[in-house]
Structure 1
Amino acid sequence: MVAGFALTDATRVADTAAIRARFGDRTPVLVETTLLRRRAAAKLGGLGDVSSWLFTGEALQQASAAPVALHRARRLAGAVVHDATCSIGTELAALRDSAARVVGSDIDPVRLAMAHHNLGDTVDLCRADALHPVTRNTTVVVDPARRRYGRRRFAPRDYQPGLDQLLEVYRDRDLVVKCAPGIDFEMVRRLGFDGEIEVTSYRGSVREACLWSGGLAEPGVRRRASILDRGEQITDAEPDDCPVRPAGRWIVDPDGAVVRAGLVRHYAARHGLWQLDPDIAYLSGDRLPPDLRGFEVLEQHRFQETWLRRALSALDCGSLEILVRGVEVNPDALRWRLRLRGSRSLAAVITRLGSGSAGTAMVFVCRPSR
């Protein structure tokens, strides 16, 4: 079988030739399916055995990673859910064990056939256009396509279906919409959305934004950051009393979901931290909160490469993690110019403090907590 071939960069040509000798014209689709299944095992393994699933490259790329999909499914536990853009069925696989009932539909007959193959008879499936509802009294989940012919679509109206159309069609329904993490929050509000925007991260990477209509949102919550690795969630309903002070013993770089959701001050207030600058996301404190990675400040100075090189040499630095906000610095180019030869692993936090003519680029030489 094709799955028995390594299909690595080193063996791809020979493996493909051997597969072609046996399977002829079916070789391209067999090789692609095998490679997609291997990628899916890492991304979707938490949904169960996906080793026999059918995929397209675009569908697998847009599918949420299993921990993200399962997090959303937990928020919908006990509901009757209609996934109106079910594609190959990944969201349905996450929902079927927690929702009271799930229904899937898609306008694409090929992807719908893949979903039927992947899920069997465990869910109800039908062909339908997401803009023409086929269920009543269900919570509707949609994941509009954000790529066409391999190119990303950034404007919400250019999604397929368009976000403005979805919000209009389902304006009186409980609705969940998966979006790209970089979506313009203000534009979403201008389209009439008045529910909760949740930004989710996993393994240090911001994965997606998700719109929850008012009936599904927690009262008073308009923005939420969910950090799945730590099981931590923070919302704009929490206090945001956060002073601005000079650096203490530690500098903390908040999780990307917190930054993207605009909840840096709320996050700081929760963990007893403060901001170095009101417009920069780096936080500081004299105590590092439990389970957070931080950077212990060893030295600080106005950012100058000559000073930084001398300081790192005196500290026997051989490898350097470089974090930058608010200053035009290329970390890779800077690291190369510094030509470090020591034995210690350190970090440099480079940031702007102050605005306009009063702004100063500063560098903090630090020891990472881990």
Structure 2
Amino acid sequence: MTLDDLEFLCTDAGRDLLDLAAGLDWSRAHQVASTAAVRRADPVHAAAAIDVVTARARARGRIRGGEAMLLTDEAVQQATAWPVAALRAQRLSGRAVHDVTCSVGADLGELVRTADRVIGSDLDPLRARMAALNVPDALVCVADALAPPSRDAVLVADPARRTGGRRVHDPARLSPPLPDLLATATDRDHVIKCAPGLDTSVLAHSGEVELVSLDGSVREACLWSSGLSAGVRRRATVVRTTTDDRPGPWGPPRLVSDGVAVHVEEVTDGDDDEVDAHGEPDRFIVDPDGAVVRAGLVRHWALRHGLRQLDPRIAHLTGPRIPDGYTGFEVLERCRLDRKQLRRALRQRDCGSLEILVRGVDTDPDVLRRSLALSGSQPLALVVTRIGSSAAVFVCGPRTGRTDTEHLTTAHSKT
């Protein structure tokens, strides 16, 4: 798409072309015919209109208000899911904020809901123009993220982590480079979004590192400057979404929008973490959310929920119940990491499908599963973990949640 294409799409004729494209079927089976129909209507601007319409479809549920935005497919792929972006905007409520990598304005749309004043800038003139059209309440300009044309505003940045379609892991090869961003923002409050697997220990960052998960998937790490972190160095933000007519796992939702309720549990290194660790399991084994694990807050989260560790170095937890909003496995039997013994135990329990969790042991779950020659009908799970210097395997029931275990307990008590 070009700037000329974009300006055309803002005209009456351009909106008519977008309406035409939006009314067509873009499934794989009809894509060729739909493309031909748009090209017949306007061969010059067809590609741009198709890009916007298909990007809007992909943005559904990811970008609030995305159905009316001018978007590209690449921008949608890079955009933060709206519940995560909205929670970040809440922490910046009442502040002046400058998003120095604003792209087409997805995050700006969340920031203008909470911030006192919002500036957006991007090095790409096309994306900056899209952002200005998409979020008219923000002041948008073309500028280099390493030379932000603002003073005193909190700097927000999301450096691009892909180049040539491939993911980049080296912080110095991001766009803009992460070390350069941190140097630019060193004297200002800032929030910089990064990949969740980033080794932050190698960075010149002294504030908070927040790990965020959404519906079980770890989405990002965020670097918050000391002035925004209130003394917290590590935070895990666990986000769950439900429909707004369903009760959430942790009380009232933090946000409700478009029929979606956003529920949040946060753990920080300011919480207590004195928990026991010994190798005999309680009734359930619980695998903490990935944000908790990556933030190094397993013990803090365990203490909150009445759990303990099986081994002080391993993230597998155990306790008499599964915490609300999470899943776990009921322990049935303990075995050695011996394939013959495991095959026998699983055959006796009529196992036909098997979820395998591995921590602290050099074992490939797929290779192990194939070697067990499952032939039964029941779903089970194996938790392969290290306790002390030895591997241990727990044969467990299938993954289950708190509600399921309450029904199970009630049934047991009646019998």
Distance in 2, matches of 1:151 and 1:215, equals: 34
The correspondence for 2:113, drawn from 93, 97, 117, is 97
Whether the 8 Å contact between 2:314 and 2:359 is mirrored in structure 1 is yes
| Aligned position for 1:366 | 397
Distance in 2, matches of 1:22 and 1:242, equals: 67
**CA deviation vs aligned residue, 1:123-155 (integer Å, no higher than 9, x gap):** 111122121131122111111222222222212
| Aligned position for 1:315 | 349
Between 1 and 2, higher relative CO (CA 8 Å, sep ≥ 6) is seen in: 1
| Aligned position for 2:28 | 9
Q: Mapping of 1:236-255 within 5 angstroms?
A: 236-246=269-279, 247-255=281-289
1:122 to 2:134 alignment = no
Distance in 1, matches of 2:371 and 2:127, equals: 50
Q: Runs of 4 or more off by more than 6 Å in structure 1?
A: none
Distance in 1, matches of 2:62 and 2:371, equals: 37
Q: Mapping of 1:213-228 within 5 angstroms?
A: 213-219=225-231, 221-228=232-239
Whether the 8 Å contact between 1:303 and 1:363 is mirrored in structure 2 is no
**CA deviation vs aligned residue, 1:245-274 (integer Å, no higher than 9, x gap):** 122111000000001111111111222211
Which letter does structure 2 place at the counterpart of 1:154?
Answer: H
| Aligned position for 2:127 | 111
**CA deviation vs aligned residue, 1:143-192 (integer Å, no higher than 9, x gap):** 1222222222212222222222222222121111111111112112xx2x
Distance in 2, matches of 1:88 and 1:216, equals: 26
1:35 to 2:54 alignment = yes
Distance 1:12 1:310, change over 3 A: farther
1:57 to 2:88 alignment = no
Listed as ranges, the gaps of 5+ residues in structure 1 are none
Distance in 1, matches of 2:344 and 2:100, equals: 60
Whether the 8 Å contact between 2:361 and 2:391 is mirrored in structure 1 is no
Distance 1:91 1:336, change over 3 A: same
Distance in 2, matches of 1:275 and 1:309, equals: 27
Distance in 2, matches of 1:27 and 1:107, equals: 26
Residue 38 of structure 1 and its aligned partner are, at CA, apart by 0.9
SS in 1 for 2:333: strand
1:194 to 2:213 alignment = no
| Aligned position for 2:4 | none
Which letter does structure 1 place at the counterpart of 2:310?
Answer: L
Distance in 1, matches of 2:51 and 2:365, equals: 36
**CA deviation vs aligned residue, 1:15-37 (integer Å, no higher than 9, x gap):** 33444444435444333332211
SS in 1 for 2:118: strand
Whether the 8 Å contact between 2:379 and 2:397 is mirrored in structure 1 is no
SS in 1 for 2:60: helix
Distance in 1, matches of 2:34 and 2:140, equals: 37
**CA deviation vs aligned residue, 1:289-328 (integer Å, no higher than 9, x gap):** 3333111101110122332222222223333222122334
Residue 361 of structure 1 and its aligned partner are, at CA, apart by 4.4
Residue 343 of structure 1 and its aligned partner are, at CA, apart by 3.5
The correspondence for 2:97, drawn from 81, 84, 88, is 81
Whether the 8 Å contact between 1:349 and 1:366 is mirrored in structure 2 is no
Q: Mapping of 1:21-32 within 5 angstroms?
A: 21-24=40-43, 26-32=45-51
Which letter does structure 2 place at the counterpart of 1:273?
Answer: L
SS in 1 for 2:229: coil
SS in 2 for 1:320: strand
Which deviates more from structure 2 when the two are superposed, residues 334-343 or residues 99-108? 334-343
Distance in 2, matches of 1:9 and 1:328, equals: 42
Whether the 8 Å contact between 2:282 and 2:320 is mirrored in structure 1 is yes
1:176 to 2:191 alignment = yes
Distance in 1, matches of 2:385 and 2:392, equals: 6
| Aligned position for 2:267 | 234
Residue 225 of structure 1 and its aligned partner are, at CA, apart by 0.2
Whether the 8 Å contact between 1:298 and 1:367 is mirrored in structure 2 is no
Distance in 2, matches of 1:81 and 1:211, equals: 15
| Aligned position for 1:285 | 319
Distance in 2, matches of 1:27 and 1:331, equals: 48
TM-score by length of 1: 0.91
Q: Mapping of 1:246-285 within 5 angstroms?
A: 246=279, 247-285=281-319
Distance in 2, matches of 1:147 and 1:51, equals: 25
The correspondence for 1:72, drawn from 88, 101, 104, is 88
SS in 1 for 2:71: coil
Query: Structure 1 vs Structure 2: percent identity of aligned residues?
Result: 49
TM-score by length of 2: 0.81
Distance 1:300 1:67, change over 3 A: same
Distance in 2, matches of 1:17 and 1:128, equals: 38
| Aligned position for 2:224 | 212
Distance in 2, matches of 1:251 and 1:232, equals: 20
